């Protein structure tokens, strides 16, 4: 059991480091090649923070453990909303505005609705995955056309393009190794503890693959830029649902575990809607609301592990 815990810990660490290196390396390449910083922020950053979920989903499919993969994506979105935003708001109130909610908030809500509808047949097929990717591409195109973008220079590495490319490859390799360790350790722990693979995916691995977002949240609060937190979570959640699952389903159809269809999908949709409502009331998440979100996430994890009894 201790070996499996070590595998999980190493996997989480490698996923976090690998995603960070990959994002910064690709941002560096974009800057050196004169690409739009808007395009970088909307694609590379969102992709980078969702890569841990993608590799875990792919590896889980290879290991015939769909509960780990699908549970990871759904659980990660729940963690992003309740845990990551909860931590951010508890440390420093998160402010927003009508434009952000109208475009990005509604896009996340619509993407969640499309995702829930896509799971209704019990399996996400290749054509459903292709539809997800088309919708995500349309959203990105709309953002590129209508938004002025965010400067990403502070994330760039001070290296030449060749070294940046090599760093990107190193980050990608780290993600592959990290996902392998994480899924192997997670499946083994699930069997050892008698806990379902879906529960492990929804909780332990979901929190692990949300660590890049948590690190970004803490850094943004420390640097006095809480507005970065909200945009990162909204974009990451949308990319998880439509990008990660969409691409993975094209490679191989993804069965949806019945327990996720019965409860967790609806909890994710509820958390999405409630978060947007809270943001609309006063255009902010305050510390009290952040505390309630953290308490809700704690209750959710306790429920998954059966701590409330049967």
> How large is the average pLDDT for residues 149-162?
61
What is the C-alpha separation between 32 and 261, in angstroms, rounded? 45
- Tell me which architecture the domain covering 2-304 has in CATH: Up-down Bundle (1.20)
The average confidence (pLDDT) of the chain is: 81
Who has greater pLDDT, 103 or 295? Answer: 295
**Between vectors from CA 110 to CA 104 and to CA 113, what angle results, nearest 5°?**
145
The band of 223, judged by pLDDT with boundaries at 50, 70 and 90, is: low
Is the pLDDT score of 263 beyond 60?
yes
The band of 149, judged by pLDDT with boundaries at 50, 70 and 90, is: very low
- Which sign does the torsion angle of CA 147, 270, 307, 183 carry? negative
User: What residues does each domain of the chain span?
Assistant: 2-304
Q: How many CA atoms lie within 13 A of 165 on its CB side?
A: 5
The band of 296, judged by pLDDT with boundaries at 50, 70 and 90, is: very high
pTM of the entire predicted model: 0.79
Is the pLDDT score of 206 beyond 90?
no
What is the C-alpha separation between 274 and 193, in angstroms, rounded? 33
pLDDT of residue 219: 67
Is the pLDDT score of 41 beyond 80?
no
Asked which of 179-188, 216-225, 281-290 is least confident by mean pLDDT, the reply is 216-225
pLDDT tens readout for residues 66-75: 788 888 899 9
């Amino acid at each position: 059991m201790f070996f499996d815990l070590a595998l999980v810990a190493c996997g989480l660490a490698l996923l976090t480091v690998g995603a960070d290196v990959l994002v910064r390396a690709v941002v560096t390449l974009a800057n050196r090649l004169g690409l739009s910083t808007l395009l970088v922020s909307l694609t590379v950053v969102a992709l980078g923070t969702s890569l841990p979920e993608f590799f875990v989903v792919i590896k889980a499919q290879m290991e015939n453990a769909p509960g780990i993969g699908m549970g990871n994506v759904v659980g990660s979105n729940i963690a992003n909303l309740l845990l990551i935003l909860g931590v951010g708001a508890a440390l420093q109130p998160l402010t927003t505005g009508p434009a952000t909610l109208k475009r990005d908030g509604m896009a996340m809500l619509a993407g969640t609705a499309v995702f829930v509808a896509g799971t209704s047949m019990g399996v996400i097929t290749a054509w459903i995955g292709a539809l997800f990717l088309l919708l995500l591409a349309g959203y990105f195109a709309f953002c590129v056309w209508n938004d002025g973008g965010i400067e990403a220079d502070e994330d760039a590495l001070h290296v030449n393009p060749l070294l940046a490319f090599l760093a990107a490859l190193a980050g990608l390799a780290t993600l592959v190794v990290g996902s392998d360790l994480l899924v192997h350790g997670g499946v083994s722990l699930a069997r050892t503890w008698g806990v379902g693979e879906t529960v492990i995916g929804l909780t332990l691995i979901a929190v692990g693959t949300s660590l890049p977002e948590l690190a970004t949240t803490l850094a943004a609060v420390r640097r006095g830029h809480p507005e970065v937190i909200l945009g990162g979570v909204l974009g990451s959640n949308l990319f998880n649902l439509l990008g990660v699952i969409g691409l993975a389903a094209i490679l191989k159809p993804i069965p949806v575990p019945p327990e996720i269809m019965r409860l967790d999908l609806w909890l994710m949709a509820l958390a999405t809607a409630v978060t947007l409502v809270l943001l609309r009331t006063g255009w902010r998440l305050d510390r009290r609301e952040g505390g309630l979100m953290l308490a809700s996430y704690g209750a959710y994890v306790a429920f998954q592990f059966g701590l409330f009894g049967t």
